[in-house]
């Protein structure tokens, strides 16, 4: 953290940094765990176009997994990168910048029919963007809005683990898609084809594997059992879909499951983003340990008593189920902790510990966010550092005036 202080000396906190050495090391480890399967960059976990491009420039990464249809339009249009920075001198501009990103998969359904019309009105954009559906309702909505050029879609298949039957069924995983069985997938693919949509892919997000730390023997058993079940069901679903349409990709996994999902021969690509920055939610995994590539600093503005100091702002709480796992953690000075009674606050964040007595007003408290890209919704600029050197200061999505929800 001393090197980050040196690299950003003279800059006003609150501020955020990404350590490019740690980012590069994390990228290399993701590629290693993917075992040769290409990784699609999950934009929601970065929200900085320079960092998205930095990942795309590395061997082993290909394409973007976007989270919003308007975001996909912004990224894919040829004019998207005019004036944007890059994450280091000499970064390639083949997939972004003035050329736009050539392969953007929106992994969440949309009901923005105006955006759909914009996509299908432009042959270049229509060839670059793939939207997600998982029901006839989605199909009806998209088909009614589609324009001159064919709309590319992928089917999102429920990858949760289920036990029991009927009302006694236990659902372990996130609530995403309605689709689950081979027959359901084939039926929707056939209906989409008949309505003029081009079905090019399948998505299987195994949240109960990728998103759960290895916190107990029970969790580890669930992850193993889920991987075994998915290996069989995913193969059957893919085979059924291929009888209806020619698939370009079968997407699966996330940062926490690359080494598991990438071993499935029917999976053609993986997805990851959080692993590039290493937020606190990934501290509890046994199979990998990402470096702390992203952090933010808040200035100490007062001392309410011995063993306490208070920083300005800092209350950047992550989405998800309420609890301690969603609050930031103090990285430096070591030994300082948040107060349970106050946590990280809207305009002030008090911390306590013996180390507080050696902290002066104006010094910085460095914290790590619980989730990756959400941090950068709080900053217009992120400072890219290597060691004690400030390499570049680049805009976040927010800094480029973009807000996709």
Query: How many CB atoms are closer than 10 A to CB 247?
Result: 18
Dump pLDDT digits (tens) for 216-229: 777 776 777 777 78
Among 358, 341, 342, residue whose Cα is nearest residue 306: 358
CA distance 116 to 105: 14
Q: Does domain 35-272 have CATH number 3.40.50.720?
A: no
Which of left, alpha, beta for 314 (phi over 0: left; psi -120 to 50: alpha)?
left
Cβ contact 281:325 at 8 Å: yes
> pLDDT class for 82, splitting at 50, 70, 90?
very low
Which of left, alpha, beta for 176 (phi over 0: left; psi -120 to 50: alpha)?
alpha
Angle between helices 136-145 and 182-194 (to 10 degrees): 20
CA distance 258 to 211: 11
Cβ contact 207:257 at 8 Å: no
CATH fold of 294-399, please?
Answer: Lyase, Ornithine Decarboxylase; Chain A, domain 1 (2.40.37)
Dump pLDDT digits (tens) for 171-187: 666 777 788 899 999 99
Cβ contact 51:350 at 8 Å: no
**Residue 147 confidence (pLDDT) above 50:** yes
CA distance 158 to 186: 14
Could you tell me which residue, 14 or 174, shows the higher pLDDT?
Answer: 14
pLDDT at 362: 96
**Residue 85 confidence (pLDDT) above 50:** no
User: pLDDT exceeding 90 applies to what percent of the chain?
Assistant: 73
Average pLDDT over residues 141-156: 92
Q: What is the 3-state secondary structure (H, E, C) of 326-386?
A: HCCEEEECCCCEECCCCCCCCCEEEEECHHHHHCCCCCEEEEECCCCHHHHHCCCEEEEEE
Dump pLDDT digits (tens) for 107-118: 999 999 999 999
- Average pLDDT of the chain? 89
Least confident span in 101-110, 198-207, 330-339? 198-207
Taking the domains of the chain in order of start, what are their residue ranges? 35-272, 294-399
CA distance 35 to 290: 17
Q: DSSP letter for 318, please.
A: P
Sequential DSSP letters for 200-222:
EEEEE--HHHHS----SHHHHHH
pLDDT at 326: 92
> 298: which 2 tokens?
């808040």
């Amino acid at each position: 953290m001393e090197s980050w202080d040196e690299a950003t000396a003279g800059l006003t906190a609150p501020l955020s940094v990404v350590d490019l050495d740690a980012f590069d090391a994390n990228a290399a480890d993701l590629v290693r765990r993917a075992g040769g399967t290409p990784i699609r960059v999950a934009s929601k976990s970065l929200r900085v176009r320079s960092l998205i491009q930095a990942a795309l420039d590395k061997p082993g990464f290909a394409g973007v997994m976007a989270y919003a249809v308007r975001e996909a339009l912004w990224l894919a249009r040829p004019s998207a990168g005019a004036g944007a920075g890059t994450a280091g001198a000499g970064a390639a501009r083949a997939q972004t910048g003035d050329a736009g990103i050539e392969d953007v998969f929106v992994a969440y359904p949309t009901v923005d029919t105006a955006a759909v019309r914009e996509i299908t009105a432009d042959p270049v954009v229509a060839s670059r963007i793939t939207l997600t559906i998982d029901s006839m309702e989605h199909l009806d909505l998209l088909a009614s809005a589609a324009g001159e050029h064919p709309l590319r879609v992928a089917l999102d298949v429920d990858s949760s683990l289920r036990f029991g039957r009927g009302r006694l069924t236990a659902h372990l995983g996130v609530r995403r898609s309605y689709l689950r069985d081979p027959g359901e997938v084939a039926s929707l693919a056939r209906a989409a084809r008949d309505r003029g949509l081009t079905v090019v892919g399948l998505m299987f997000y195994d949240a109960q594997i990728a998103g759960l730390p290895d916190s107990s023997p029970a969790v580890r058993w669930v992850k193993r059992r889920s991987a075994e079940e998915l290996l069989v069901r995913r193969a059957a679903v893919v085979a059924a879909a291929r009888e209806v349409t020619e698939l370009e990709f079968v997407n699966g996994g996330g940062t926490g499951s690359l080494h598991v999902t990438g071993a499935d021969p029917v999976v053609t690509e993986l997805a990851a983003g959080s692993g590039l920055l290493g937020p606190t939610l990934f501290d509890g995994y046994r199979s990998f340990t990402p470096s702390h590539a992203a952090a933010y600093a808040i200035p100490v503005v007062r001392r309410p008593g011995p063993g306490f100091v208070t920083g300005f702002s800092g209350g950047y709480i992550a989405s998800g189920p309420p609890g301690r796992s969603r609050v930031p953690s103090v990285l430096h000075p070591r030994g300082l902790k948040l107060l349970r009674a106050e946590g990280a606050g809207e305009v002030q964040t008090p911390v306590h510990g013996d180390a507080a007595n050696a902290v002066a007003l104006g010094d910085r408290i460095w914290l790590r966010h619980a989730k990756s890209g959400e941090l950068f919704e709080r900053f217009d600029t992120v400072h890219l550092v290597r060691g004690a050197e400030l390499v570049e200061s680049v805009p976040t999505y927010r800094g480029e005036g973009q807000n996709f929800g």
